[in-house]
Structure 1
């Protein structure tokens, strides 16, 4: 049966070899045969530029290109960790970059996909930070810095983020229901797929005066997860790494 796969929040890093191994296994065993693979952000724990010679990046790019060349179309939406991932890496990996919000028509089903951080509107501090780091001039300035300087800045920012999140409630860091309903109403969809919150679940709701659902992908910490869309519908699947 035709199938399209969605994943998010893998957070690949050299510090987590088990997650890398699990992801590469997924690309070799689960993904082949699918019509397409959509990666909805935070593929990497951190991204400081396509010129970073990190061997992990080269390994992942090669695995994704092999999948793409086998006939599985690969797409990527930026996350809050890897929003600087650019066309240079995308070409190397054989995947297509998509905008932050994308409508996908699959098997007579209309879906809205995104990373999900823009839905967390109760976290005002994060939303201010997001607006700042998405300024194109600031991104160009950062990418022009020496690699070692970018690494130090990224490390400092990750530490600051961890400290800030320790003092935030889980509710603040989750999506805002009104924001969810607004974006689904705007795009006239009954199914939304996203990641970011690390709260895997399928939520039933009402949008446009009809039954709808919000499907949330999990982070690849202790297990992997994907959403599989077929002509029969959409299914959340968790699996061991």
Structure 2
């Protein structure tokens, strides 16, 4: 069994989600061969050197799962793109590049966070390119902690206000971008998060049937994609 989740946005202000995640690790992920977390695992991450006691407790829970034999893979999201190797070593997980091509259920699958597919949101794409530039990342990681906290609060506030004003199609994936990326990667299945719109979409890629599976965010309920051989099931579950 393989499990894929995304967009938990873990933070101390949402203990219901944290409790549900810890229960998920014990009840389901401990039985899995692998757990993939496709970005926005934390609501905000300003650097491995700024890990809080809450975040460390999450890392310790992941380490316990990893020590039990479940492989854990973690991908950056737009909220936690500063997650680094120090956290991964502590948590016992492997950091994946975005995108990553892996084999799941006997087929090649493309894994992404999903924000890079939203090309119609030109303002966000410009910001994303700047934030993910290696020089920008180096500068951000070496800013004083107080400055990083202030910048993170500013970016979160601006993101929420701008998203609320944008049309729904602007903050969703660009339809033409999906088959283009899938064709370039040579896959017929894409799994991503980010949009908070869980669903399975059928499409055509290079004249062949293909599918795009969108993972759900953890808010009023949790979401997970479970793969058992040829059986793929995307389903919600109560956070309680």
Q: If the length of structure 1 is used for normalisation, what is the TM-score? A: 0.97
3-state secondary structure, aligned to 1:79: coil
How far did residue 208 of structure 1 move? 2.4
Aligned partner (choices 184, 187, 194) of residue 185 of structure 2: 187
Number of the residue aligned with 2:28: 30
Q: 1:177, 1:153 → 2: CA distance?
A: 32
Question: How far does the alpha carbon of each residue in 1:115-139 deviate from its partner, in whole angstroms, 9 at most, with x for none?
Answer: 0001001100100000011112222
Number of the residue aligned with 2:160: 162
Aligned partner (choices 90, 105, 126) of residue 124 of structure 2: 126
3-state secondary structure, aligned to 2:127: helix
How far did residue 145 of structure 1 move? 1.8
Q: 1:184, 1:149 → 2: CA distance?
A: 39
- Give 5+ residue unaligned stretches, structure 2: none
- Give 5+ residue unaligned stretches, structure 1: none
Further displaced range: 106-115 or 123-132: 106-115
3-state secondary structure, aligned to 1:239: strand
Aligned partner (choices 57, 60, 63) of residue 62 of structure 1: 60
Q: Which runs of 4+ in 1 moved over 2 A?
A: none
Number of the residue aligned with 1:72: 70
Q: If the length of structure 2 is used for normalisation, what is the TM-score? A: 0.97
Question: How far does the alpha carbon of each residue in 1:88-123 deviate from its partner, in whole angstroms, 9 at most, with x for none?
Answer: 000000000011111111232211111000100110
Number of the residue aligned with 2:84: 86
Number of the residue aligned with 1:232: 230
Number of the residue aligned with 2:106: 108
Q: 1:139, 1:111 → 2: CA distance?
A: 28
